[in-house]
Amino acid sequence: MEQVFCSGLPVYTGSARPTGCAELSSIQAPTVTTMSRMLCGLVAIVFTSLAAAEQPAYYFPPTNGESGNEWETIAPAKAGWDETKLQTALNFAGENRSSGVVILHRGRILAEQYWEVGGPMANAYRERVLVGQDGAGRAIEDVASAQKSVVAILVGMAQQRGLLQLNEPVDKYLGQGWSAATPEQERAITIRHLITMTSGLNEEREYEAPPGAKWSYNTTVYAQTMLVLEKATKQDRNALTKQWLTGPRGMADSRWVRRRAANVQAVNAYGFATTARDLARFGLFALAEGSWQGKPVLDDRDFLRQATTTSQSLNPFYGYLWWVNRDAKQPQRRRTSTAPADMFSANGALNRRCFVVPSLELVVTRLGVQPAGNRAFDQRLWELLMAAAPNTDAK
């Protein structure tokens, strides 16, 4: 009796040899070990394929184009969006003192529009907000407190590199006396307290409450976080940010700038200057969970989760220097009721925004000056965007 194999698999047992397979030969049957390896290999291929299929197919723009000009677009209709209604949302932004809006869907530009900032706020915009223009004439602006979310990502990167830990006291890096609290009170304040706005200090850095006992939005105290990073990494803020974040992401028009107004310097001397497109690159990095072009950069999942969801029990809408839209304890509560629950955002004064919505695979950036209605602008903008969006569970 002869057993015949084709490509290492048994296809016939008998006395008459079949034809039609070049590899048919009389050889020994494969051992159990060989068959086990083949089966394991097949299973690995299947699971790898399934895992790849589950990953969102994000597009990442080139990182070497001048001012980010090389960037693929996608037609709204192709992405399932209503183009007319989407334009209505853009018109609303333009009518409300926006200088630029960029909307990404899975990394590609879904919509983009720019406007001149005129009217009574034009002079203040040029003097206090506008830093310059990129190579294509798009505004480079100091995005105010939207910088905080950039710093949060840098903190995560530093912790991943073993250069600091969130539970370490701030005075380990800044020395005793960085605040107006007593040495004992000050020693209890950690880096985590800085990035969750729970230091217990007031704007004069005086002691008000034990760390972790009170939530207070405090830019003066937050500003110490960048000083901690400089000490921990032994690099200045621009060198550090370019090496770790803006350079590898192609954010060529983003940098830290010394602020001009004395009253602003007293609170936070440095602004983060960027464009609507560069800020969208940052949002895409956050949407891709700290990865770029399929390669993990910040792969501390616990840090990313706490950064972009409720991080403490005092303010349910604050993570690690990111604003979040859903109350983790009461998921039906939303900060912006018209926006998807899973949205998180980098928010700056004058309604500078970088919205990230995983459920829609969307990034929306908005630059400009203060629109009428303050936070009502976000409410109406998202009402219009969701009217244009595909019918999904995000609604």
pLDDT string in tens for the chain (395-residue length)? 444 333 344 433 444 444 444 433 333 444 545 455 554 454 444 444 444 444 558 999 999 865 557 899 999 999 999 999 999 999 999 999 999 999 999 999 999 999 999 888 899 999 999 999 999 999 999 999 999 999 999 999 999 999 999 999 999 999 999 999 999 999 999 999 999 999 999 999 999 999 999 999 999 999 999 999 999 999 999 999 999 999 999 999 999 999 987 778 889 999 999 999 999 999 999 999 999 999 999 999 999 999 999 999 999 999 999 999 999 989 999 999 999 999 999 999 999 999 999 999 999 999 999 998 767 999 999 999 999 999 866 65
Q: In terms of residues, how long is the chain?
A: 395
Asked whether residue 212 is assigned to any structural domain, the reply reads yes
What confidence tens digit (pLDDT) does each residue in 222-266 have? 999 999 999 999 999 999 999 999 999 999 999 999 998 777 888
Asked whether residue 204 is assigned to any structural domain, the reply reads yes
Kindly give the pairing relationship between strand 255-258 and strand 9-14: unpaired
Number of domains in the chain: 2
Element (H, E) at 376: helix 376-388
113 and 177, same domain (yes or no): yes
259 and 170, same domain (yes or no): yes
Q: Model's pTM, two decimal places?
A: 0.85
What is the chain's percent helix, strand, coil content, to nearest 5?
Answer: 40, 20, 45
Half-sphere exposure (Cβ direction) of 197: Cα atoms closer than 13 Å: 23
Asked whether residue 199 is assigned to any structural domain, the reply reads yes
Look up the CATH number of the domain holding residue 83. Answer: 3.40.710.10
133 and 12, same domain (yes or no): no
What confidence tens digit (pLDDT) does each residue in 163-220 have? 999 999 999 999 999 999 999 999 999 999 999 999 999 999 999 999 999 999 999 9
70 and 48, same domain (yes or no): no
277 and 185, same domain (yes or no): yes
Residue 11 belongs to what domain range?
2-54
271 and 380, same domain (yes or no): yes
125 and 212, same domain (yes or no): yes
> 């998180």: which residue's tokens?
344
Work out the burial of residue 158: count CB atoms within 10 Å of its CB; fewer than 13 is exposed, 13-18 middle, 19 or more buried: buried
Asked whether residue 394 is assigned to any structural domain, the reply reads no
117 and 30, same domain (yes or no): no
What's the CA gap between 344 and 305, in Å, rounded? 11
> 């989407």: which residue's tokens?
86
* Helices and strands in the chain: count of H runs, count of E runs: 14, 15
What's the CA gap between 35 and 39, in Å, rounded? 6
103 and 9, same domain (yes or no): no
What's the CA gap between 368 and 126, in Å, rounded? 11
Closest CA to 304 of 143, 77, 193, 152: 152
What's the CA gap between 279 and 256, in Å, rounded? 14
Query: b or e along 91-124 (b: 16 or more beta carbons within 10 Å of the residue's beta carbon)?
Result: ebbbebbbbbbbbbbbbbbbbbebbebeeebeee
What's the CA gap between 170 and 192, in Å, rounded? 9
184 and 272, same domain (yes or no): yes
Element (H, E) at 5: strand 2-6
183 and 35, same domain (yes or no): no
**Domain-terminating residue out of 10, 30, 54:** 54
